[in-house]
Structure formats: C-alpha cells, structure tokens
Structure 1
C-alpha cells in the first residue's frame, strides 16, 4: 500500500492541473511528494525511497523550470514530461541494481527473507513490470501530443490499464512465486 501512496503526487497533479493550472499543479505535487519523503524520514521503521526523491525532484524541477522560463505547457506536454521522468527514475533504479520496489518490500518482510535469491528476482520483475507500464504511458502521451486527432480517452484508457495492470501484477506476482518456491521445495 505504501508503494501506491508514492503515486499520490501524480494524482494531486492530475486533479490540480484541471483546477489551478500547470505550475500550481506541479508545485502541489512536489509538496505532496516532499511530505511523503519527510514522513518516511521521520517514521521509525521506514526509509526514504528513491521513487519519492525522484518524484520531488521531478515535480519541483518542472515547476521551477516553468516559472523561470515562463514556459506554457499543455496538460499533455506536462504528462509526457512527468511520465518520461518517472520512467527514467524506475529505469535508473534497475540500472544501479536497486529496483525501486526493493525498498518497499524490505519494509514488509523480515530481514532473513532479503538474502534469499528469489526476493531480489521478484523485485526485479515487479520493477520491470512498472517500467513497462510507464513506457506504455509515455507512448500514449507521445501519441496524444503528436496526433491531436486521437481521442483523449485513448490516452486515459492506456494510462488506467497500465497502472491497474502494474498494481495487480505487484499484488499477484510475489504470492505466485512464493507458492511456486514452496511447491518446488
């Protein structure tokens, strides 16, 4: 559940953009991400997450850039930048061998599980599933930006299916692998 809460800034951005505009929405999302970061920093048993650091930097950086350059982005243009930034954060965690889901999983499992080979493999696969979901969202954003005749519902549908698919996979896969390992051993 805490991994899903990490996406709260993206929801805040989507809601605030419609009501307040791009820069206030980016700022609100950065603030929510910063609150989550501080919560993890101050709560015993929790750690500061790479995804949350990346989210603060992403929204805060985009807001600062928009203010400094007086850039007027469309909602689709901002979504493309946000989704691409999130994809880059997730890919970077994979590239350094620390899949972003690992930090969340360690908060929910005992330390003796962390050294089991299947633990890291499960987290690599789940992080890859999220990377695929974000890549699909980026592709949908690109299609929406460069093919304006495409109905808006297409981009929304791809985003919803990608996120729901990643969430369900995240819930299903560890149990599936646990049952598989228990059946084999």
Structure 2
C-alpha cells in the first residue's frame, strides 16, 4: 500500500478541502443573490400576497390604524374593507403593515388591472357619487363628494356652501367611504 495509498489519501484530502471551500463560497454567493433578489420585492407585491386576509396599515396623516381585509392592490393604492367602510389608501402614505403575508407576488404575475393608478380608484368613488372622508398626510380631513379626478389631483365638493377643494394626490393619504 505504501506511497500509492499516501498519494490517494493526499488527493482525497485536497478534494475535501476544495469541496469545503466551494461550499463556503457558494453559501456566500447564495446569500448575496438572496439579498439582491429581495431588493426587487415591493410593498405592493407583499400586499398582493395578502389579498383576502386582514391586515393593519399605519397610514401617515390618519390618527389611528386602518384595519380590515385587503380587497385590492395596485401599484399606487390598496383597497381595505373595514366593516361597512372601505378605504382607498395611497401606498405612498403607508408607513407600516401588520399581518402581511410572508410571501410576495411578483409584479409580472399581476393582472393588467392592477396597473390602474390612484386616479382610477378615486374616479370609481366619484362615479358612485357617495360622500367620503378624505384624509390628508398633514392630518387634516375633508368630507364631501368627489366630483372629478385629474391626472394628479381630485376635486372635492365640501359643505353646504358646496365649495370646491383641489386635493393633490401627493398630499392624499386615504379616502374613506361614509356609511
């Protein structure tokens, strides 16, 4: 057995070391890939995986949390059904989410309807002609009826004197149905 055995033992040892180094490098590479891939996950994609379940949203400008069933999700907004009230929440105003799925749904798997912007959701409210409570990011609120919706703003008719207020989407936190 002599020198051949020693030579094969040396090769086996070198092969084992090479395998261990490869596995260590592979683990680091997989961790890097995982971090890089997770960068592509958006809040909307996590909420999309939460459809049909209850979640609690902390929304900038609203005094308390919005808790309810996540009914619809789009790139710019989320519809939360809370008892007899519905909330159209501007995703840019969402600070926190509790109860979200640990999974996400990649945007390539979304329906084309989810590409509809915040304006589309507000137009639906305007078409219904129902009163709503509009929450702004600065904490103020306006109650009235949405009349028309532009590209980056909406018109709210408020009060008995029917004064019209233009609300920029960038300042809007959520629109809440009034039942």
Both proteins in one fold, TM over 0.5: no
Q: TM-score, normalised by structure 1?
A: 0.28
Higher relative contact order (CA 8 A, sep 6+): 2
Greater radius of gyration (CA) = 2
Say which structure is richer in strand.
2
